[in-house]
Amino acid sequence: SSRFELLDISWFTACMEAGRPVDSELKYRLMDAFEVMAENYEFKENEIFCLEFLRAASVLKFLPFPVTKMKDIQGLPCMGDRVRDIIEEIIEEGESSRAKEVLNDERYQSFKQFTSVFGVGVKTSEKWYRMGLRTLEEVKADNTLKLSKMQKAGFLYYEDLVSCVSKAEADAVSLIVKNTVCRFLPDALVTITGGFRRGKEIGHDIDFLITNPGPREDDELLHKVVDLWKKQGLLLYCDMIESTFVKEQLPSRKVDAMDNFQKCFAILKLYQPRVDNSSYNMSKKFHTEVKDWKAIRVDLVITPFEQYAYALLGWTGSRQFGRDLRRYANHERKMILDNHALYDRRKCQQPGIRFRNRKGCWLLLYQTLVPLAGV
Ligand code: TTP
Ligand code: MN
Ligand code: MN
Ligand code: MN
**Mean pLDDT over residues 129-147, rounded?**
97
For the ranges 127-136, 183-192, 250-259, which has the lowest average pLDDT?
250-259
pLDDT at 362: 40
Candidate of 163, 207, 208, 316 to mutate for ligand 1, largest count of ligand atoms within 8 Å of Cβ: 207
Give yes or no for a contact between 157 and 295, defined as CB atoms under 8 angstroms apart: yes
Residues within 5 Å of ion ligand 4, judged at the Cβ atom:
205, 207, 299
Instruction: Identify whether 205 is a catalytic site residue.
Output: yes
- Tell me whether residue 232 is exposed, middle or buried, using C-beta atoms within 10 angstroms of its C-beta: 0 to 12, 13 to 18, 19 or more: exposed
Backbone angles phi, psi at 163, to 5 degrees: -75, 130
**Which residue CA neighbors atom 10 of ligand 1 most closely?**
203
**Which residue CA neighbors atom 2 of ligand 1 most closely?**
194
Ligand nearest to the backbone CA of 325: 1
Give yes or no for a contact between 316 and 192, defined as CB atoms under 8 angstroms apart: no
Give all domains of the chain, ordered by start, each with its CATH number.
3-103 (1.10.150.110), 106-156 (1.10.150.20), 165-312 (3.30.460.10), 319-367 (no CATH)
Indicate the average pLDDT of the chain: 85
Taking the CB of residue 216, how many other CB atoms lie within 10 A of it?
A: 10
Per the model's pLDDT, the better-predicted residue between 63 and 180 turns out to be: 180
**If you measure from the C-alpha of residue 204 to the centroid of ligand 3, how many angstroms do you get, rounded to a whole number?**
6
ipTM (interface pTM): 0.96
Give yes or no for a contact between 315 and 194, defined as CB atoms under 8 angstroms apart: yes
**Mean pLDDT over residues 199-208, rounded?**
97
Q: Which of 8, 160, 205, 259 is catalytic?
A: 205
pLDDT per residue as tens digits for the range 260-318: 899 999 999 999 976 666 666 666 677 777 889 999 999 999 999 988 999 999 999 99
Give me the amino acid identity at 221.
L
Half-sphere exposure of 53 (CA within 13 A, CB side): 22
Pairs from 6-11 (Cβ < 8 Å, separation ≥ 24)? 6/77, 7/77, 7/328, 7/331, 7/332, 8/55, 8/77, 8/78, 8/324, 8/327, 8/328, 9/324, 9/325, 9/328, 9/332, 10/332, 11/59, 11/77
Alpha helices in 76-220 (DSSP H): 81-93, 97-104, 106-114, 122-130, 136-141, 149-156, 158-162, 167-184, 194-197
Candidate of 302, 319, 323 to mutate for ligand 1, largest count of ligand atoms within 8 Å of Cβ: 319
